[in-house]
Amino acid sequence: MRIQLSSSQFLASIVRKHTTNLHFTTTIKTHNPSSPLNTDANPSSTPEIEKKHVHRVYDAIAPHFSATRFAKWPKVSSFLNNLPSGSVILDAGCGNGKYLGLNPNCFVIGCDISAPLVQICSDKGHEVLVADAVNLPYRSAYGDAAILIAVLHHLSTEHRRMKAIDELVRVVKKGGHVLITVWAVEQQDRSLVDKWTPVMGEYVVDEVKEFGSVCQQEYFVPWHLPYHRAAAAAAESGDSVESGFGRKDDRKGAIVYDRYYHVFCESELERLICGMKNAVIVDQFYDKSNWCVILEKT
Ligand SMILES: C[S@@+](CC[C@H](N)C(=O)[O-])C[C@H]1O[C@@H](n2cnc3c(N)ncnc32)[C@H](O)[C@@H]1O
């Protein structure tokens, strides 16, 4: 059964009551985290490392990223497919929207910080808006379930990671489930880690400077954008090599962009969640180099 509701009705029914100035007729709805909508204090403004090494990178690689991201992860698929018909599901950091249409019996609405990725989702007919997972523009207790797949590891402070989890729990109903997955320090293919660059210098976040880190958890993970794709992107957004944002790798025939990751240790997700008063962990597992939890809102 697919329930029919027009885009504007659907979006209007889920965003926070005070967001009446949003324009539902535009293709992409943008939620500006620093706008007056941001009444729930954002832990801090977006750190530079996320602006440059997460947001700008996904914007620059969006079409290539989308073209290479179609395989659906079985654990996410089974979570979504097991939800009751008619459920409202919120996908924060939805990327190219590969999970948005997965269960045709549910309403799925996505958001992502990257406007080009949101545009790609929108072009496929999905309900999406541009928003920061740390400050979701949805009303409290609206969704039946929420997912945050491979997003939390792009947030560069523990405060922001906790706030993103809080936000997901806030937007689901009591009894609603939230699935979160993150990259693990414990990678099955260790040779991959050798290709990553430990984050050093100006970007080492304060909490690491202050407390030190038992193991390396902050990395730049390269994204290789083939020259022909980079040329198309440059036509729209200027030359990223000249501006020092990307670098050329002639051997690979690609522009290399560094994506920031905070990879999670065993039990780290659990530790972030254990202090929450309104959620409990109902399942947790390690799968394909990811730590995963399913929370239930209490
Ligand atoms: C590895 S991709 C995962 C995409 C999708 N969840 C999936 O599983 O295919 C990470 C996504 O997180 C988004 N992202 C990063 N930081 C974000 C933030 N603060 N708020 C919302 N989305 C964010 C990126 O733009 C990107 O689309």
Closest CA to 107 of 5, 238, 229: 5
pLDDT of 2 = 39
Q: Report if residue 206 sits inside a domain.
A: yes
How many CA atoms does the CB half-sphere of 280 hold within 13 Å? Answer: 4
User: How far does the centroid of ligand 1 lie from the alpha carbon of residue 258, in Å?
Assistant: 15
Mean pLDDT, rounded, for 104-120: 98
- Could you identify the atom of ligand 1 that is nearest to the CA of residue 160? 19
User: How far does the centroid of ligand 1 lie from the alpha carbon of residue 92, in Å?
Assistant: 7
Residue 90, ligand 1, Cβ within 6 A:
no
pLDDT of 137 = 95
Ligand 1 binding pocket mutation candidate from 42, 61, 98, 113 (most atoms within 8 A of CB): 113
Residue 54, ligand 1, Cβ within 6 A:
yes
Q: Report if residue 2 sits inside a domain.
A: no
pLDDT of 10 = 56
Residue 132, ligand 1, Cβ within 6 A:
yes
Ligand 1 binding pocket mutation candidate from 151, 168, 219 (most atoms within 8 A of CB): 151
Task: Identify the weakest region by mean pLDDT among 115-119, 144-148, 227-231.
Answer: 227-231
Examine the pLDDT at 4 and tell me if it is beyond 60. no
pLDDT category at 41 given cuts 50, 70, 90 is very low
Examine the pLDDT at 96 and tell me if it is beyond 50. yes
Which is more confidently placed, 211 or 294? Answer: 294
- Report the nearest-CA residue for atom 13 of ligand 1: 93
pLDDT of 236 = 58
Percentage of residues in the chain having pLDDT higher than 70: 79
Examine the pLDDT at 55 and tell me if it is beyond 70. yes
Domain extent for 109: 7-297
pLDDT of 21 = 31
Alpha-carbon span 215 to 293, nearest angstrom: 22
Alpha-carbon span 190 to 197, nearest angstrom: 13
Tally of domains in the chain = 1
pLDDT of 44 = 56
* pLDDT tens-digit readout, 135-178: 999 999 999 999 999 999 999 999 999 999 999 999 999 999 99
Q: Report if residue 239 sits inside a domain.
A: yes
User: How far does the centroid of ligand 1 lie from the alpha carbon of residue 139, in Å?
Assistant: 21
Examine the pLDDT at 243 and tell me if it is beyond 90. no
Residue 168, ligand 1, Cβ within 6 A:
no
Examine the pLDDT at 265 and tell me if it is beyond 60. yes
pLDDT of 210 = 55
Q: What is the DSSP string of 91-142?
A: EET-TTTTTTTS-TTSEEEEEES-HHHHHHHHHTT-EEEE--TTS--BPTT-
Q: Report if residue 211 sits inside a domain.
A: yes
Q: Report if residue 1 sits inside a domain.
A: no
CATH number at residue 197: 3.40.50.150
pLDDT of 229 = 85
20-29, 53-62, 195-204 — most confident range: 53-62
User: How far does the centroid of ligand 1 lie from the alpha carbon of residue 261, in Å?
Assistant: 11
pLDDT of 215 = 79
Q: Report if residue 129 sits inside a domain.
A: yes
Alpha-carbon span 200 to 219, nearest angstrom: 9
* pLDDT tens-digit readout, 190-225: 999 999 999 986 666 555 555 555 579 999 999 999
Q: Report if residue 195 sits inside a domain.
A: yes
pLDDT of 8 = 52
Examine the pLDDT at 255 and tell me if it is beyond 90. yes
Burial of 56 (0-12, 13-18, 19+ CB in 10 A): middle
pLDDT of 16 = 64
pLDDT of 40 = 38
